[in-house]
Amino acid sequence: MSDDLFADMTETLFEDKSILSEEYRPDVIVERDDEIDAYRTALKDVLFGRNPSNVFLYGKTGVGKTAVTEYIIEALQAEVQRREAADELHVHSRNCNDDSVYRTVRSLINSIREDHQEQFPETGLSTSHALETLYEEMEAVGGTFLFILDEIDHLSDPDSLLYELPRARANGHLETASVGVIGISNNYTFRSSLSPKVKDTLMEKELAFSPYDAEELQSILAERAEKALVDDACDDSAIRLAAARAAKDTGSARQAIDLLREGGDVAEEQGDEAITDSHIEIAAERVQRGRVQDKLRDQTMHAQLILEALAHLEIRGQVPVRSKEIQNVYVDITNEWNHDPLTTLKSIQNHLSDLTMLGFLERTEQNEGRAGGAHYQYELTLDPEIIIDTRNAIEAEEQ
C-alpha cells in the first residue's frame, strides 16, 4: 500500500469532533434549567448531613437524563467538600439492563471495596446475604451513599431492591451511613408497576424529562457546532433542519447531534467547505439506517427472524398480514438459516405483541363478523430493505 495514501487529506470541517460524540459531557447543560433546579433541590439534604431523598428520572433516550445526572453529581461532590455539615459523599453507579438484584448488589459491594480487597462472589450466595454484606461495607466506610441505577426498569425484581435500600436505616441495617437511590428509566409507567408498599417506602422525587422541541435542539446544536466545527463550517439552515428532523422523530439531542456530525462527514466526502441542508438530508438517511440496525441487533434471534419474515412479506406487497401467514414465512426463513423455529403460533403471537409494543410493528384489528371473527393484522414501521440487509450481515458474521 502506498505510503502517501492519506497525504492529500489536509482540510477538515471539524475543530474538535469529539464534542459531537456520545461520550462528550458539556461543561454547561443547556435547555434543562427547570430539571436541573428540581434535581438540585431534591438532593440538597446531602449538604446538611441528612438522609438524601430518592430521585427517579423518566424520559426517552437522548433527552439529557444521564448528562444532567453527571452534571448535578459533579457539582454536588464539589459543594460537599466545602460544607462542614455534609458527610463524606460516595457515589456508585450501575446499569441494570437485564440484571438480577444479586448482580446489582454484588456490583455495588465491589465498587465500595478497595481494589486489593477480595471481590464478592458471582454465585453461591443469596440475595439477602449480598444485601447484608452491602450494609456492612457501607457502615465500615460511613458517610452518605448515592446509588445511581440506570435502566432500573430492566432490573429482574426492582420491587425487592427498592423496598430494601430506602428502609435500611429504619430497619437497623445502617447507623453511621445513609443512603439514597437515583433511578433512571426510559419507561414513564415504571412507577405504576411497583408494589404499593414500595411506592410508600420510596417517597421519591420524580423528574420527567420531556423530548426536546425543535427550538431547544437548535440551541443545543448551535452550542456544540461553535466548539466542534471550524468557523463558517455550517449553514444556520442546516442546524435548523437537523433540529427539526430530530424533534419530529424522537426529540432526542443525541439524534440531532448525530445528524450534525454525519452531515459534516458527508460535506467532507463531497469536498464542500460548509455543511448545508443537502448534507443533512443524506446524513438523515445514514443515521436512520444505523439506528434501525442497532435496534434490530438488540432483539432476540427469533424476534429478528419474525421481522425478517415480515420484511419479505412487505416487499411482496402482502401486508398487512395475519400471524399465521407470518408464521409460515418465518418457518421457511428459519430453516434456510439452519435455526430451529418456534413450534407454536402462540409463541409467534407473543413475539408479535412485544415487537408492536417496542414500535417495530403496527397492529390493526380486523372484524369479519360471525364468519371470521376478530383478528390482528401486522405490518412493519421500519424499512424492510434495512432489516433484510442487517439480517444477512448478522448471519454472515456467525458463519
CATH number (domain holding residue 366): 1.10.10.10
On whether residue 49 sits in a domain, the answer given is yes
Report whether 64 belongs to an annotated binding site: yes
pLDDT digit string, tens, across residues 69-99:
999 999 999 999 999 999 999 999 999 987 8
DSSP label of 80: H
Please give the pLDDT value at position 9. 61
Please give the pLDDT value at position 164. 94
DSSP label of 126: -
**Residue 109 in this model has a pLDDT that exceeds 90:** yes
pLDDT band (50, 70, 90) for residue 8: low
Considering the domain architecture, whether residues 131 and 41 belong to the same structural domain is answered as yes
- With contact defined as beta carbons under 8 Å apart, do 266 and 279 qualify? yes
Measured between alpha carbons, how far is 91 from 111 in angstroms, rounded to an integer? 10
Domain with residue 80: its CATH number is 3.40.50.300
Integer-rounded Cα Rg, in Å, for the chain is 25
In sequence order, which ranges of the chain are alpha helices (DSSP H)?
A: 33-42, 65-82, 101-112, 127-141, 158-164, 196-202, 214-228, 236-249, 253-269, 277-297, 301-315, 323-336, 345-357, 369-372, 384-397
- From 284, 251, 209, 222, select the one nearest 39 (Cα to Cα): 209
Report whether 67 belongs to an annotated binding site: yes
Considering the domain architecture, whether residues 287 and 387 belong to the same structural domain is answered as no
In order, the DSSP letters of 314-357 are HHTT--SB-HHHHHHHHHHHHHHTT-PPP--HHHHHHHHHHHHH
- With contact defined as beta carbons under 8 Å apart, do 379 and 362 qualify? yes
Considering the domain architecture, whether residues 303 and 366 belong to the same structural domain is answered as yes
Considering the domain architecture, whether residues 275 and 287 belong to the same structural domain is answered as yes
On whether residue 317 sits in a domain, the answer given is yes
Report whether 212 belongs to an annotated binding site: yes
Report whether 224 belongs to an annotated binding site: yes
Q: What percent of the chain has pLDDT over 90?
A: 76
**What domain range is 270 assigned to?**
212-296
Considering the domain architecture, whether residues 160 and 229 belong to the same structural domain is answered as no
Domain with residue 262: its CATH number is 1.10.8.60
Measured between alpha carbons, how far is 38 from 48 in angstroms, rounded to an integer? 18
Report whether 167 belongs to an annotated binding site: no
Number of C-alpha atoms within 13 angstroms, CB side, residue 346?
0
Among residues 151, 185, 208, which one ends one of the domains? Answer: 208
Considering the domain architecture, whether residues 74 and 179 belong to the same structural domain is answered as yes
- With contact defined as beta carbons under 8 Å apart, do 51 and 169 qualify? yes
Please give the pLDDT value at position 189. 82
Measured between alpha carbons, how far is 310 from 325 in angstroms, rounded to an integer? 9
On whether residue 19 sits in a domain, the answer given is no
Considering the domain architecture, whether residues 242 and 357 belong to the same structural domain is answered as no
C-alpha cell belonging to residue 344:
407454536
Among residues 208, 242, 259, which one ends one of the domains? Answer: 208
On whether residue 22 sits in a domain, the answer given is no
Higher-pLDDT residue of 186 and 20 is: 20
Among residues 208, 223, 254, which one ends one of the domains? Answer: 208
On whether residue 26 sits in a domain, the answer given is no
On whether residue 23 sits in a domain, the answer given is no
Measured between alpha carbons, how far is 276 from 287 in angstroms, rounded to an integer? 16
- With contact defined as beta carbons under 8 Å apart, do 199 and 108 qualify? no
Sign of CA dihedral 137, 139, 143, 147: positive
pLDDT band (50, 70, 90) for residue 365: confident
On whether residue 61 sits in a domain, the answer given is yes
β-pairing verdict for 374-380 and 361-367 = antiparallel
pLDDT band (50, 70, 90) for residue 205: very high
What average pLDDT does this structure show over 243-268? 95
Rounded (5°) CA angle 134-137-142: 120
Sign of CA dihedral 105, 106, 111, 114: positive
Considering the domain architecture, whether residues 149 and 38 belong to the same structural domain is answered as yes
Burial class (CB in 10 A: 0-12, 13-18, 19+), 387: buried
Upstream peptide bond of 320 is cis (omega within 30 degrees of 0): yes
Number of domains in the chain: 3
pLDDT digit string, tens, across residues 294-350:
889 989 999 999 999 999 999 999 999 999 999 999 999 999 999 999 999 999 999
Measured between alpha carbons, how far is 39 from 57 in angstroms, rounded to an integer? 9
Please give the pLDDT value at position 372. 59
Report whether 65 belongs to an annotated binding site: yes
Considering the domain architecture, whether residues 128 and 88 belong to the same structural domain is answered as yes
Measured between alpha carbons, how far is 49 from 30 in angstroms, rounded to an integer? 30
Q: First-to-last CA distance in the chain?
A: 29
Please give the pLDDT value at position 7. 67
Report whether 198 belongs to an annotated binding site: no
Higher-pLDDT residue of 240 and 374 is: 240
On whether residue 17 sits in a domain, the answer given is no
In order, the DSSP letters of 354-382 are HHHHTTSEEEEEEE-HHHH-EEEEEEESS
Considering the domain architecture, whether residues 140 and 257 belong to the same structural domain is answered as no
Considering the domain architecture, whether residues 79 and 187 belong to the same structural domain is answered as yes
Considering the domain architecture, whether residues 82 and 179 belong to the same structural domain is answered as yes
